[in-house]
Amino acid sequence: MNENDWVYTEKVQDHFMNPRNILEDINEYDFDGKGMTGNLQCGDEMLFVIKVDQDKNVITDCKWKTFGCASAIASTSKLSEMAIGMSPEEAYDLGPNQIIKALDGLPDRKIHCSVLGDKALRAAIDDYWKRNGMEDKIPKDKKKVVCNCMNVTNHDIEEAVLHGARDFEELQEHTKLGTVCGECKPEATRMLEEYIEKHFSNDS
């Protein structure tokens, strides 16, 4: 351990100290899609806006804003670089693993709470498709983050149900969902019931 060693890698430091593609003024940025995720209470919130060349089907530019810690800022910055030049479909598949890899890693405890940029980017792409009459491109059974604080998706909830979760407390034991701000409780409870219904009704 060196006194100049950070808890973060050099790439994270670089993107934290010199963030790329910050959105300066949303009123002066003519975007084709906008998406947001997280909230202030959780301590992380991200916004993505994208420009798309519809003929070439390429993201030509994207900008972001982030409220969060160093790894939240760095991961959003890195993601913005990765997305430019990709098709919306390609960018849609970018997930935390690719971002973390591109940053040469993040401390374990940072991954769940701070890498949310991909969700904001996906929301921005959804928004672009919606605005341009391409709703059919939005994946139907797509992953949707239910608990922003702990980054728990509808897929995680379904899996927890398949592994035996039958009420909200059991769901929390399986996923840690709703253990921070608790805002997701109503939606999570509804999904829990849906998945129980889907997999276990008329079983007898």
Active-site positions?
42, 113
* Residue 82 is a binding residue for other proteins (CB under 8 A): no
- Identify which range of 92-100, 108-116, 140-148, 190-198 contacts other proteins by CB under 8 A: 108-116
d(CA 179, CA 176): 6
Query: Nearest to residue 150, comparing CAs of 126, 128, 173?
Result: 173
Q: Which of residues 22-81 bind other proteins (CB under 8 A)?
A: 22, 24-27, 36, 40-47, 65-73
Task: Please report how close the Cβ of residue 32 comes to other proteins at its closest, in angstroms.
Answer: 17
The single residue among 124, 145, 149, 177 that binds other proteins, judged by CB under 8 A, is 149
Interaction between residue 113 and other proteins (CB under 8 A): yes
153-162: Cβ within 8 A, 24+ apart: 154/191, 157/188, 157/191, 157/192, 157/195, 158/191, 158/195, 158/198, 161/192, 161/195, 161/196, 161/199, 161/200, 162/195, 162/199
User: Residue 46 or residue 157: which is nearer to other proteins going by CB?
Assistant: 46
Asked whether position 110 contacts other proteins by CB under 8 A, the answer is yes
Closest CA to 46 of 90, 77, 19: 77
- The CA distance from 153 to 73, in Å, is 22
77 or 154: whose CB is closer to other proteins? 77
Residue placing its CB nearer to other proteins in the complex, 108 or 203: 108
Distance between CA atoms of 85 and 160, rounded to whole angstroms?
37
**What is the binding site for other proteins (CB under 8 A)?**
4, 6, 16-17, 19, 22, 24-27, 36, 40-47, 65-73, 109-110, 113-114, 149-150, 179-180
